[in-house]
Amino acid sequence: MQLDAMRTVLDALPIAVAFVDADERVRIANRACAAILGPAPEGRTCSALLRHPEFLGGLEASLSGDKTHVKRLILTAGGNETHLTVTFTPMITTTVKGVLVAFEDLTPIEQAGVMRRDFVANVSHELRTPLTALVGFIETLRGAARDDPAARDRFLGIMEREAGRMIRLVSDLLSLSRVEAEERRRPANEVDIAVLLKTLLESHRETAASGGIDLRLEMAEGPVRLRADGDQLTQVFHNLVENAIKYGGGGKEVMIRVTELQHEPVLKGAAIQVEVIDRGEGIGPLHLPRLTERFYRVDTHRSREQGGTGLGLAIVKHIVNRHRGRLKIESEPGKGSKFIIILPKT
């Protein structure tokens, strides 16, 4: 194969591929190579582009023999790791002997594996804590507290609370699993979000009033219809209003504001914007990008004391994604928080 023909073929490939000659100099590098070897790698030696012992060893082995070699590399740059499988295949063109080097990026697969391991570890930790408490109290009730009615009542109350926490965790895990399974299927039903929000606020009004919190709904009169799954949207706003009451209720006001947008630039069409606003403590900027991660909590102890599972905002994010909408979070310490849901009307 001529080098010009090879260049045409390699440029059409979606993965990074380069042809290296016997002097270990890059003769051809397709466009995808720039992400690994840097810009304009052609004409430069491999040792100057990628000084990795496994890479250079695989290259030399293929140049000195006629066998294909495969190496695994981990490259670190800017605090991020890139995992690569590199295949070295000896090749002779009409004029040059060399090696075809193909880079397969395994980073997304590795990241998915890390996420699975972290998820299992987090679930195990969240379940182990209440289970350990339950076992300890059961042993105490069978022993020292067997004939102590006051201690028995106190321990049973704690056991009930811990069991409820496990039930909420399992319920949220099942909910998250269902939402993820349906995420690619967009809802087909029509929902009046005005009715949905009024009903939701009535269900929270007693809890809010017990904490001296005023729940307000600000929106135009009349129905506000959009294409949505009513049950899932109820879950979204239930989670957001409940969080606002628990963690932002210090400001003594939680407001839901509904606005109809004639044209939302990102969604490229008409949309409904729903803001859940509290006047509480606010959230620091370091926490904002991570709020929708599973089991991420700004204040772990306080969240557990309030009965939180750390999954509520992850569920919100996936439901909003299913509706092809947007979730924005704005907050400053001491100035409260604003959770903004933007949903397309059609």
Asked if residue 49 lies in contact with residue 57, where contact means CB atoms within 8 angstroms, the answer is no
pLDDT band, very low/low/confident/very high, at 319 (cuts 50, 70, 90): very high
pLDDT of 116 higher than 90: no
DSSP 34-77: HHHH-SS-TTSBHHHH---HHHHHHHHHHHHSS--EEEEEEEEE
Query: Three-state DSSP class for 258?
Result: strand
- Percentage of the chain modeled with pLDDT above 70: 96
Domain shared by 125 and 272, yes or no: no
- CATH code at position 255: 3.30.565.10
What are φ and ψ of residue 15, in 5° steps? -100, 160
Domain shared by 203 and 299, yes or no: yes
Nearest to 92 by CA among 43, 143, 19: 19
Domain shared by 210 and 301, yes or no: yes
Number of domains in the chain: 3
Domain shared by 231 and 212, yes or no: yes
Domain shared by 149 and 84, yes or no: no
Domain that holds residue 319: 186-346
Domain shared by 152 and 276, yes or no: no
Strand 97-105: give its sheet, edge to edge: 26-29, 16-21, 97-105, 80-92, 69-77
- CATH code at position 68: 3.30.450.20
- Name 147's Cβ contacts closer than 8 Å, sequence gap at least 6: none
Most confident of 111-115, 142-146, 192-196, 206-210: 192-196
- CATH code at position 119: 1.10.287.130
pLDDT of residue 232: 92
pLDDT of 103 higher than 90: yes
Domain shared by 74 and 148, yes or no: no
Domain shared by 208 and 262, yes or no: yes
pLDDT of residue 6: 81
Domain shared by 202 and 343, yes or no: yes
The average pLDDT across 278-305 equals 79
Q: In the listed set 61, 78, 105, which residue is the last one of a domain according to the structure? A: 105
Domain shared by 111 and 36, yes or no: no
pLDDT of 151 higher than 90: no
- Percentage of the chain modeled with pLDDT above 90: 24
Lowest mean pLDDT among 106-110, 113-117, 210-214, 238-242: 113-117
Q: In the listed set 152, 182, 212, which residue is the last one of a domain according to the structure? A: 182
Domain shared by 151 and 93, yes or no: no
pLDDT of residue 308: 66
The average pLDDT across 116-129 equals 81
